[in-house]
Amino acid sequence: MAQLLRRIKELLGHIPLLAYLLGFLAATSVEIAAGRMFGLLIGLGGAPAFFGVTASFSRLNLDSGLVGFLLSIPSLLHYVVLALVYDVVIYGLPTLIVAGVLAKPIRWLVSALPEWLTGLIHTVTLFLSLWIWGSLVGYRLLVVMYIGVNIIMTTSLNLINGYMGEFSCGHAGFMAVGAYVSSLLTVWLFTQDDVFGAPALSAGWSIILFPLILIVGGIAAAIIGLLVAFPSFKTRGDYLAIVTISVNFIIKSAIENIEFIGGPRGFMGMKGVLKTMASVINIPWLLIWTFIGVLITLAVIYNFVSSTKGKGVVAIREDEIAAELMSVNTRHTKVLAFTISSFFAGVAGGLFGHVVGYINPSTFTIFKSTESLVMVYLGGMGSLTGSVLSASILTVAMEALRPLEVWKKVLIWLMLILLMMFRREGIMGGKEITDFISLERLGLRRSAKEVKGYAPAAD
């Protein structure tokens, strides 16, 4: 048995990442063709939105006391079994079969193509599989975009809390600035709105200007980020945490008191912007920009923290006084870190505003900041892949556990407590996933042997 497991592990481990991605792409096609039918056939009543997790939990009876709850458990188990069958048949088997078949050709392909092209193929395949999988049920696409927004929030906060070792609790404040600035701009420019009147520019501009407006939102947030950077010269740790919380509250109250953008009632109309964009060219613009936003955030933060200049950030975490005395310009470095971090929080806010279509000041309170904090600590401080993982897991968990109502929060925070007790360093513990699985093994980089034209003997 143990040998069989090892053999399976070995087999699966030798399949490159791209083969899995293509396998999943194939599985989504299978789902489109047969998912609904199969779901009806086995009694799920159609294709489940989240691999059946959400639907399983919704079987639980939370309203009729303990007895009702216990009695509803068999119904949950019954559904779980059906959902598992669905997942294996629709996702598991097609993915594995296609991945297994393609493993060899793809290994060859990776060794033949230049690395940038391999990277591009991975990116496009990932995007296509997310898009196709998401399009089947509208709700999925929304969650995929939430994940994107949360990844940007988490990785950007990780720069401050993980890499620099400061404790910023006001990240949602910067998100709010970005959300409001970019939403106001797009609604003013591209839609018929009660406040701004007719669209200021023709619809065609929306395609070009949308990403630029996201950047403007980011810049606005970065300017506010400077407000936090300056106190950070003088104070750190708990005291800086209080400063950041205050900034969060100041931003929220400021927005609440600007009547013309809706005050506490919030601001809407961003769905109209998406409609305008779709009326020009009908492709999922928001998904595309969220996806690109995530990639850019990861690339920028990774490139920054792995440069000697950016490593000054880590030196500040390790010993700020030694950093300053060993020629690191700590003030400049802090300003950079806060600016970059709040810039991306602003971009995430802009995306968030358009994903949800409605923003209001009480969305961006300390609770939202805490959510990002939790994702940073869950993933591991100073680990970008950890942040990506935890943002994805927690976002999906929060959606999938929705049927549990109030208990959802209890469960999620309980998970966090357990994490802090048993694995304080988070999922990745300050390491990147590439420290465990090499890029060569994932098929993202040519292995040295293959480059030299050395073929390993078959065994």
Partner 1 sequence: MPLLQINHLTHFFGGLRAVHDFNLNLEKGELIGLIGPNGAGKTTIFNLITGAYRPSQGDVRLNGDNLVGLRPHQITGKGIGRTFQTIRLWNNLSVLDNIRIAQFAQIKYGVMDSILRTRRYQDEEKEIKKRSLELLEVFNLRHLADEIVTNLPYGQQREVEIVRALATKPQLLLLDEPAAGMNPGEIDALLKLIQWIRQEFDLTIWIIEHQMRVIMGICERIKVIDFGETIAEGTPDEIQSNPRVLKAYLGEEGI
Stretch that binds partner 1, among 60-68, 234-242, 306-314, 416-424 (CB under 8 A): 306-314
Quote the least distance from Cβ 177 to partner 1, whole Å: 21
Quote the least distance from Cβ 430 to partner 1, whole Å: 8
Stretch that binds partner 1, among 83-91, 259-267, 321-329, 438-446 (CB under 8 A): 321-329
Q: What's the number of CA atoms in the CB half-sphere (13 Å) around residue 154?
A: 31
Which lies closer to partner 1 via its Cβ, residue 163 or residue 190? 163
Q: Site for partner 1 (CB under 8 A): which residue of 21, 169, 229, 314?
A: 314
Q: Does 303 bind partner 1 (CB under 8 A)?
A: yes
Q: Can you tell me the distance from the alpha carbon of 187 to that of 196, in angstroms, rounded to the nearest whole number?
A: 8
Phi-psi sector, 15: left (phi>0), alpha (psi -120 to 50), beta: beta
Q: Does 323 bind partner 1 (CB under 8 A)?
A: yes
Closest C-alpha among 145, 416, 431 to residue 288: 145
DSSP count for the chain of H helices, then E strands: 22, 2
Q: Can you tell me the distance from the alpha carbon of 82 to that of 75, in angstroms, rounded to the nearest whole number?
A: 11
Q: What's the number of CA atoms in the CB half-sphere (13 Å) around residue 101?
A: 8
Residue type, 119: G
Which lies closer to partner 1 via its Cβ, residue 279 or residue 307? 307
Show the binding pattern over residues 372-401: x = contacts partner 1 (CB under 8 A), - = does not: ------------------------------
Stretch that binds partner 1, among 181-189, 191-199, 219-227, 312-320 (CB under 8 A): 312-320
Question: What are residue 434's phi and psi, to 5 degrees?
Answer: -70, -10
Tokens of 424: 């304080």
Q: Site for partner 1 (CB under 8 A): which residue of 17, 53, 336, 355?
A: 336
Quote the least distance from Cβ 310 to partner 1, whole Å: 6
Tokens of 35: 């998912």
Q: Kindly state the helix (H) or strand (E) to which residue 358 belongs, with its residue range.
A: strand 358-359
Quote the least distance from Cβ 299 to partner 1, whole Å: 8
Q: Site for partner 1 (CB under 8 A): which residue of 294, 315, 389, 444?
A: 315
Report how far apart, in Å, the C-alpha atoms of 148 and of each of 27, 144, 183, 348, 357 are. Answer: 22, 6, 18, 8, 16
Q: Site for partner 1 (CB under 8 A): which residue of 324, 425, 432, 440?
A: 324
Quote the least distance from Cβ 306 to partner 1, whole Å: 9
Q: Site for partner 1 (CB under 8 A): which residue of 308, 422, 454, 457?
A: 308
Quote the least distance from Cβ 236 to partner 1, whole Å: 16
Contacts 24+ apart (CB under 8 A), 88-97: 89/38, 90/27, 90/30, 90/31, 90/34, 90/35, 90/38, 90/47, 91/24, 91/27, 91/31, 91/51, 92/27, 94/23, 94/26, 94/27, 94/30, 95/20, 95/23, 95/24, 95/26, 95/27, 96/23, 97/23
Q: Does 329 bind partner 1 (CB under 8 A)?
A: yes
Residues that bind partner 1 (rule: CB under 8 A) add up to a total of: 27
Which lies closer to partner 1 via its Cβ, residue 8 or residue 120? 120
Show the binding pattern over residues 411-440: x = contacts partner 1 (CB under 8 A), - = does not: -------------------x----------
Tokens of 288: 């595309």
Token look-up 């310009």 returns: 329
Quote the least distance from Cβ 332 to partner 1, whole Å: 9
Quote the least distance from Cβ 24 to partner 1, whole Å: 30
Stretch that binds partner 1, among 22-30, 181-189, 324-332, 367-375 (CB under 8 A): 324-332
Quote the least distance from Cβ 16 to partner 1, whole Å: 25
DSSP state of 193: B
Residue ranges that bind partner 1, judged by CB under 8 A: 299-300, 303-304, 307-312, 314-315, 318-319, 321-331, 336, 430
